[in-house]
Amino acid sequence: MHLGLPYFLLISENFVEPDEDGTPVRVLTTHGLLNGHLSRPETYVHLSNSSSYQEVYVGDFDSPVPAGNCGAVVYDALWRGVFGHIITGSTSPTRSAAFIMPAKHVHEDIIRRLDIFCDIGTHRLAGASRVLANSVLRGPGSAEAKLYCPFI
């Protein structure tokens, strides 16, 4: 069954947070692999068309983040987990920083929206929810994880 979402957004055990001192990370962009360092200072951004500020991580990379790479996944340099995805980056040749939306927030938002959708249209999802509730997903290098299904 195709779920329409990357597996790492459904399994919260795949999400990691940067260490207090920072964490080495990688991003696969349209121009190749970027290596960098992710920090977790208290940083918040106000996105356009949003009514609130959102916590973000700050990434400093070995070269500028090329334009067009919003949405690129930022992962642990040792493939232990996913931090999030780039929401904005500097294209300046002298600045190589980016803001990263934490994957945990994306996951929470997806689950919240699925719960709301379920409340509105449970009768349409009844058959699918039995299938999803018994699904097991496996990510590369990770143990099996039972899929959290908010439809039941």
Distance (Å, whole) CA 96 – CA 89:
7
The encoded tokens of residue 8 equal 């790492």
Our measurement of the distance from residue 57's CA atom to the centroid of its chain's CA atoms, rounded to an integer in Å, reads: 11
The pLDDT value given to residue 76: 86
What are 64-107's pLDDT values in tens digits?
888 888 888 898 888 778 888 898 887 677 778 889 988 888 77
pTM for this predicted structure: 0.64
Helix (H, G, I), strand (E, B) or coil at 1: coil
The pLDDT value given to residue 12: 61
User: What one-character DSSP code corresponds to residue 8?
Assistant: G
Looking at per-residue pLDDT, the higher value among 126 and 118 belongs to 118
| Cβ contacts of 103 within 8 Å, gap of 6 or more | 8, 9, 14, 15, 82, 83, 84, 85
How large is the greatest C-alpha to C-alpha distance in the chain, in angstroms? 55
Q: Would the pLDDT of 147 be above 50? A: no
Task: Provide, rounded to the nearest whole percent, the portion of the chain with pLDDT above 70.
Answer: 64
Q: Rounded mean pLDDT of the chain?
A: 70
pLDDT average, residue stretch 6-35: 76
Which domains can be identified in the chain, with CATH numbers? 14-102 (2.40.10.10), 107-146 (no CATH)
User: Residue 25: which H helix or E strand, with range?
Assistant: strand 23-29
The encoded tokens of residue 37 equal 């360092």
Q: Give the model's confidence band at 4: pLDDT under 50 very low, under 70 low, under 90 confident, else very high.
A: very low
